[in-house]
Amino acid sequence: MTQHPSIDRTQTDSGVMQQRKAYYDRIGQHKLAPLWEVLHGLVIPQPKSACQPALWHYADIRDEIMEAGRLITAKEAERRVLILENPGMPGQSRITTSLYAGLQLILPGEVAPSHRHTQSALRFVVEGSGAFTAVDGEKTIMEEGDFIITPSWTWHDHGNDSDRPMVWMDGLDIPLVQALDCSFSEKFPEDSQPLSKPTGDSLARYGAGLLPVDHEVTTPTSPVFNYPYRRTREALETMRRAEQWDACHGLKLQYVNPATGQSAMPTIGTFMQLLPKGFDGATYRSSDATVFSVVEGTGHTMVGEGDAAQRFDWGKRDTFVIPSWVPYRHVAPDGDAVVFSFSDRPVQKVLGLWRESRGNR
């Protein structure tokens, strides 16, 4: 019989601990590390993101966006953007772990010079009317609620020939491209690229339920690069008559590439949803952290559960982000609301990783 088992074990344990420590130091010199010390932080039972839920009221930040317009020109800044930085990942220029978002300002008469990069970008117009983006030799005039795509490695410059400032939300896959170490970029020799196609060409060619008869799919990105809000809104309005409301999403559509039926962008999924007046949504969560931008109406989103639940009251032009696997539900008590959103869902889906759950499961 052992007389002092606890003392014996303590001595043994501390001895073993010392041996292990010496061992870890030794193998470290061979660029090796013990998995068993870190395994449970690596392979976790469910997502536990550094990304935090966050909300930006447009009214609180609009003056600061306009102040940037007095401090630096679009040309000097190259892109005059205030990054929507997730408070859980300060200094990392990201709104979710995989995606970047920012609010870009273009004042009347300004040009944001032409460049291209492997990162894919979306623009979602928050305020203003009549500024333009040129992509691959075609200009598109932008209106509030329009969703515009800059595909990977296409020349793009932005300008504003209207008499009002324009602000749009940029969404890019910068962190994803950074994780994969495949960022390439270059500047066009001129501020503006030459235009080779008439305005509206892409939408006519690819966005009317038709495709050129010999169209071949050569890139995963949609050939339609401006999805006008006017059309999206009309689709939602017409569909509402069928009253097939989803308990979690109201009426939610995804933007697609008409040539493939896949998401409009390969790395970023984009969506528009209508929450009818009185909508009191069921709880939902998914593994793709999602950024929301409110186009019309007011409402609130309950984020998280139990004591940790937060209420995000939102209105037109506000932005909020829900991290991976955090439960939330949308409520629109006072009137119809229309909300745009984007996430890395297409990436998760193509890799067989995406999950969702509804209700309290």
- Per DSSP, the chain holds a count of helices (H) and strands (E) of 8, 23
Question: Of 170 and 288, which has the nearer Cβ to ligand GTQ?
Answer: 170
Asked if 105 touches ligand GTQ (CB under 6 A), the answer is no
Asked if 106 touches ligand GTQ (CB under 6 A), the answer is no
Asked if 102 touches ligand GTQ (CB under 6 A), the answer is yes
CB of 254 to ligand GTQ, least distance (A): 23
Q: Which residues contact 79 (CB under 8 A, 6 or more apart)?
A: 104, 112, 170
Question: Of 52 and 93, which has the nearer Cβ to ligand GTQ?
Answer: 93
Kindly identify the residues of this chain, within the stretch 161-190, that bind ligand GTQ according to CB under 6 A: 170, 172
Which single residue brings its beta carbon nearest to ligand GTQ? 170
Q: What is the largest CA-CA distance in the chain?
A: 93
Asked if 121 touches ligand GTQ (CB under 6 A), the answer is yes
CB of 94 to ligand GTQ, least distance (A): 12
Asked if 337 touches ligand GTQ (CB under 6 A), the answer is no
Question: Of 117 and 317, which has the nearer Cβ to ligand GTQ?
Answer: 117
**Terminal Cα-to-Cα distance of the chain (whole angstroms):** 51
DSSP of 115-182: EEESS-EEEEEEE-EEEEEEETTEEEEEETT-EEEE-TT--EEEEE-SSS-EEEEEEE-HHHHHHTT-
DSSP element (H, E) containing 16: helix 5-28
Q: Residue 298 carries which DSSP code?
A: E
- Choosing from 104, 154, 193, 286, the residue that interacts with ligand GTQ (CB under 6 A) is 104
Residue 68 DSSP SS3? helix
Question: Of 187 and 230, which has the nearer Cβ to ligand GTQ?
Answer: 187
What gap in Å lies between CA 31 and CA 40, rounded to an integer? 21
**Which residues share a beta bridge with 300?**
313, 331
Binding mask 56-95 toward ligand GTQ (x if CB under 6 A, else -) reads -----------------------x-x--------------
In the complex, which residues of this chain contact ligand GTQ (CB under 6 A)? Answer: 79, 81, 102, 104, 117, 121, 156, 170, 172
